[in-house]
Chains A and B, each alone.
Chain A
Amino acid sequence: MQISSAVLKKDEKAIFGLRELYQKYGYSQFKMSKFEPYDLYVRNKDFLISENVITFTDAGGRLMALKPDVTLSIIKNTPDAPEFVQKVYYNENVYRTGADGTYKEIMQLGLECIGQVDAYCISEVLMLAAESLAFISEDFVLDISHMGIVSPLLDEAGASPAARTEILKCIGEKNAHGVAAACAAEGLDSTKLCALVTTYGAAADVLPKLDVIRTEGNAAAMDELSLVLKTLEKCGFGDRIRIDFSVICDMNYYNGFVFRGFIQGLAAGILSGGQYDTLMARMGKKAGAIGFALYLDMLEQLSPETPDYDVDTVLLYDEGADMRALTETIGLLTANGKRVMAQRSVPEKIRYRQLLKLQERGVEILENNA
């Protein structure tokens, strides 16, 4: 049986399309259990988007959790093999607590590259992130930052841990006045940190301007950013790939490239990713890693594809109708590509193109709306 793309919802289309895309680049599907021992999340609580994990006690008395995140499970279950790269993608539901305290099931699709992550791997993951966004909508933006550029600037400025947290928050808000105020409070030079906030835009425009924030400490990261973005230029995404240092991720987990993807019509980023070697090290792994996740539940917020009609035909039949004639008529209509609903009387709130009635002498057209 062939599946028509017309019956698929936006998120279902994305799942099928993107799975094909990831498989094309050698990524294999990673399946995992819905449950993990709660302990896994307690040790890495800040890595989770939502702190509240849904827990229960299993038959053996262990405290288990409905998985709120996929990356931690993948790291835990992937053998540590730093000499090559393991490429996996996943399509899983995660369970989180919303801001209003209610439980939410979220459909997440993403990929992870674990092992010897080099500039090519990073470029490939970023290219796949951009391709994923482009698959959903041509009108997308992928913002890329590098924690190896941001972090040394904070170190070199000599910010205290409290000021560091405040400055990072302000960088994430594009809040240059806040950065200046936080620096002034500790007598720090804010020039380069403010420049981080105001330096953003299409990669081709911004790369030549990055010298204003280049220091000895971030030179290597700067060169890596430049190399990867120049590689991406060849993929033809043009100004949709942007440098934006306001993409900030927790430095206890992320170390290198961090990125976020946006789609016109959605109020928040739909894709989030980064390089998380620090998290790998915290979990006792020697390998490096980079990956991203797409929050497909957000696609519901895009203008809905409401069909004009719920069904093509409503076929009415009487109590004593000939079942064989009814089945044959429905078979004939569905074979012609019609969506048919058999009913004894006209259902309420159903929009149909045609209303038919099965009579002894044949099929009678009662109403034609199209």
Chain B
Amino acid sequence: MLNVALPKGRLGEKVYEMFEKAGFACPSIREAGRKLIFENPECGVRYFWVKPSDVAIYVERGAADVGVAGKDILLEYEPDVYELLDLDIGKCRMAVAAMRDFRDDPRRTLRVATKFTNITKNYYASRGRDIDIIHLNGSIEIAPILGLSDVIADIVETGSTLKENNLEVIETIVPISARLIANKAGFKFKSAQIEALTAAMGRNGGEK
């Protein structure tokens, strides 16, 4: 039985369709309700919905053999997993944004508000810039408006939230998309199933 951790939400539904097309259907998953675990013994697959940021934990710890997680989560938490495929969906970018009239003063320590402290730290370290990280859990856009930070580092999809808050992207840190990940040990013992899944999802990639 292949255990699959799917990210709850719109992206997860899209991802499930890809698994279905790859031959790992589980019709009961479409039934309305609050159930979180769904199984189709015929296809040898068990799905469970988890919080998107937890998918990598389920996979790294072996509770799931495979899962789908955003590249942002993989870069932030650096789980020890295989990254088998770029699913090319859920595309966005991790970017630095600031108020429209912001002028960077390289002589000063830059105050950066973000949810993604590891990615931010690595990015500025690679550029040799001294920063003061302010870790926030949400509504990051408010930080520069209230003077809490100079800039923010966050996920940007369309940029409309930034625009509405008078912010603009000043640098792109890294492009993001959903990735198929696998537990390293699980891969050894279910390699045929995981390889078949990866190959089928790779083939169907263009049909999304």
Contact = CB atoms under 8 A, between A and B. Distances in A.
Interface of A: 139, 141, 143, 170, 173-175, 177-178, 201, 242, 246, 262-264, 266-269
Contacts, number: 43
Given A267-B60, A267-B183, A268-B184, A175 B189 contact: no
B93 to A, nearest CB: 14
Given A174-B83, A267-B185, 9 more contacts: A170-B83, A173-B83, A174-B82, A174-B84, A263-B185, A264-B189, A266-B185, A267-B186, A268-B62
B44 to A, nearest CB: 16
A177 B62 CA distance: 24
- For chain B, the bracket of interface size reads 20 to 34
Nearest to A270: B185
Given A267-B62, A268-B80, A177 B85 contact: yes
A267 B187 CA distance: 10
A178 B62 contact: no
A175 B75 CA distance: 14
B107 interface: no
A277 B184 CA distance: 27
Nearest to A173: B83
Contacts of A262: 184-185, 188-189
A88 to B, nearest CB: 28
B198 to A, nearest CB: 9
A258 B199 CA distance: 28
Contacts of B94: none
Interface string B179-202: 000111111110100000000000
B82 A246 contact: yes
Contact of A173 (B61, B81, B185): B81
Interface string B60-77: 111100000000000000
Nearest to B88: A177
A85 to B, nearest CB: 31
Interface string B28-45: 000000000000000000
A179 to B, nearest CB: 11
B13 interface: no
**Most interface-central of B61, B182, B183, B187 (chain A CB within 10 A):** B187
A173 B183 CA distance: 10
A139 B82 contact: no
Contacts of B82: 173-175, 246
Contact of B184 (A175, A264, A269): A269
A263 B7 CA distance: 28
A242 B63 CA distance: 24
Nearest to A174: B82
Nearest to B187: A174
A364 B81 CA distance: 59
Contact of B61 (A174, A178, A267): A267
A174 B189 CA distance: 16
Contact of A141 (B61, B83, B183, B188): B188
Contacts of B191: 201
Interface in B39-57: none
Contact of A269 (B81, B85, B185, B189): B185
Nearest to A268: B185
A178 B83 contact: yes
B86 to A, nearest CB: 5
A175 B188 contact: no
Nearest to B188: A141
A367 to B, nearest CB: 40
A147 to B, nearest CB: 19
A262 B62 CA distance: 12
Contacts of A178: 83
9 contacts: A139-B189, A174-B82, A177-B86, A262-B184, A263-B185, A264-B189, A266-B185, A267-B62, A268-B80
A263 B191 CA distance: 14
Contacts of A269: 184-185
B183 A175 contact: no
